[in-house]
């Protein structure tokens, strides 16, 4: 079975790169064939025991013909596509690509990582909205894969055939747990601090300003608390937002107990950052269906988490509703954070649920599901 992944890839350090790499590992745990990665420009042309990477498209150009030419060379069976609108656009190129691959006899599994509101503006014609684009994608793809039932329901609600949609959870990868005190000292934090961590890209939808307000209240009850905001902005236009956050921390009087990392966290430092934390906070304000990779990283190392109630954190609410709060409930967030930092019995009980969730969503289990899906697709005729 010849399996290909269409994605951005190393050394490009986007979420799709990590996801694709982990998925290949998970699938090869059950079927050891080498995978092909047709990758975005900037990826490294490389061949390893696990994969062959061939850069062949640019998100800024009409990428259809370049991808199809490379796919045709290798006589693929299934192409797994890591779709997001920033990588492939939300115009007519992507449905055209799916139609062209179908014409080549290649089955496609589109992993769409977010399902936006139906009326969200897109470049797809006719319609120029998310619902029109999703219907076109659903008509041309062999399968659309989503991470949560709400994402599936959102797609079927706008007219995508339910038989084409498969729900497979995001994977969790076990992360090395390093000594917490040494990790804090290495990061320039007090060794005895109770560390609240925000991890990931910084933008206004992540609720970081709200978290600063919450943390001021937390410090009153837990003076040894420390807030680490570890991440950076994807785009320079968000630099002013980070400046605002730092100024807000100063106005709130919490600057001495707050640190902004200010750069991409390199791979070898990620376990250190998580190991330093007592709690990972995700106060996001996102009204569209998705799941959080940070949730699965946190589960992979077994740390406590608190999340906003909403479509991004449905899976957390399902296994531990006490870890989910309204995104604007400052008093509730403050109380829950203080409890997470101060009540070992409560924390241990919640942590057991998080660890179990991480086990249930291990990448090798996700990979097994994918191998089975690809094998099933090979038994079906490719509709022309």
Q: pLDDT digit of tens for each residue in the chain (384 aa)?
A: 899 999 999 999 889 999 999 999 999 999 999 999 999 999 999 999 999 999 999 999 999 999 999 999 988 999 999 999 999 999 999 999 999 999 999 999 999 999 999 999 999 999 999 999 999 999 999 999 999 999 999 999 999 999 999 999 999 999 999 999 999 999 999 999 999 999 998 889 999 999 999 999 999 999 999 999 998 876 666 678 889 999 999 999 999 999 999 788 999 999 999 999 999 999 999 889 999 999 999 999 999 999 999 999 999 999 999 999 999 999 999 999 999 999 999 999 999 999 999 999 999 999 999 999 999 999 987 655
C-beta pairs of 8-12 under 8 Å, 24+ apart in sequence? 8/39, 8/40, 8/42, 8/43, 8/82, 8/87, 9/37, 9/39, 9/40, 9/43, 9/44, 9/53, 10/43, 10/44, 10/46, 10/53, 11/42, 11/43, 11/44, 12/39, 12/40, 12/42, 12/43
Query: Is the fold of 3-171+363-378 the same as that of 180-360?
Result: yes
Is the sign of the CA dihedral 332, 338, 341, 342 positive or negative? negative
3-state class of 329 per DSSP?
coil
CB-CB contact of 30 with 371 (8 Å): yes
Write down the pTM of the prediction. Answer: 0.94
Q: Copy the structure tokens of residue 110.
A: 């589109």
Measured CA to CA, the distance from residue 335 to residue 222 in angstroms comes to 11
Tokens of 246: 């730092």
Q: Rounded to an integer, what distance in angstroms lies between the CA atom of residue 242 and that of residue 112? A: 29
Where in the chain does DSSP place strands (E)? 3-7, 35-40, 46-47, 51-57, 78-83, 107-112, 114-115, 143-146, 165-167, 194-199, 225-230, 258-260, 279-282, 289-290, 304-308, 324-325
d(C-alpha 193, C-alpha 20), whole Å: 36
CATH superfamily placement of domain 3-171+363-378? Glycogen Phosphorylase B; (3.40.50.2000)
CATH classification code of 180-360: 3.40.50.2000
**Where are the chain's structural domains?**
3-171+363-378, 180-360
51-77 b/e with 16+ CB inside 10 Å = b? bebbbbbebeeebbebbbebbeeeebb
């Amino acid at each position: 079975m010849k399996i290909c992944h269409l994605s951005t890839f190393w050394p490009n350090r986007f979420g799709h790169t990590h996801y694709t790499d982990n998925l290949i590992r998970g699938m090869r745990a059950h079927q050891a064939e080498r995978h092909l990665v047709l990758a975005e420009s900037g990826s490294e042309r490389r061949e390893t025991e696990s994969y062959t990477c061939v850069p062949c498209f640019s998100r800024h150009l009409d990428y259809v013909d370049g991808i199809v030419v490379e796919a045709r060379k290798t006589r693929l069976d299934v192409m797994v596509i890591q779709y997001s609108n920033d990588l492939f656009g939300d115009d007519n190129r992507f449905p055209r690509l799916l139609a062209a691959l179908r014409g080549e006899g290649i089955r496609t599994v589109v992993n769409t990582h977010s399902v936006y509101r139906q009326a969200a503006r897109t470049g797809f014609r006719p319609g120029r909205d998310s619902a029109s684009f999703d219907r076109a994608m659903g008509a041309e793809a062999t399968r659309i894969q989503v991470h949560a039932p709400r994402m599936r329901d959102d797609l079927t609600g706008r007219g995508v055939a339910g038989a084409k949609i498969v729900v497979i959870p995001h994977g969790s990868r076990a992360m090395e747990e390093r000594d917490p005190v040494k990790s804090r000292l290495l990061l320039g934090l007090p060794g005895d601090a109770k560390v609240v961590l925000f991890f990931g890209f910084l933008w206004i939808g992540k609720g970081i300003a709200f978290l600063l307000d919450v943390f001021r209240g937390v410090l009153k009850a837990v003076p040894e608390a420390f807030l680490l905001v570890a991440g950076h902005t994807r785009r320079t236009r968000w630099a002013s937002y980070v400046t605002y956050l730092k100024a807000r921390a100063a106005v709130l009087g919490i600057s001495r107990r707050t640190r902004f990392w200010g750069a991409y966290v390199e791979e070898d430092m990620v376990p250190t950052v998580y190991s330093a934390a007592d709690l990972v906070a995700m106060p996001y304000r996102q009204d569209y269906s998705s799941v959080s990779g940070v949730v699965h990283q946190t589960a992979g190392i077994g740390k406590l988490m608190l999340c906003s109630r909403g479509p991004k954190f449905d899976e957390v609410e399902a296994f531990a509703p006490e870890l989910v709060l309204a995104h604007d409930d400052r008093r509730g967030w403050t109380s829950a954070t203080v409890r997470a930092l101060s009540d070992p019995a409560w924390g241990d009980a919640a942590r057991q649920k998080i660890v179990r969730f991480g086990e249930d969503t291990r990448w090798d289990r996700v990979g097994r599901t994918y191998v089975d899906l690809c094998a099933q697709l090979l038994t079906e005729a490719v509709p022309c």
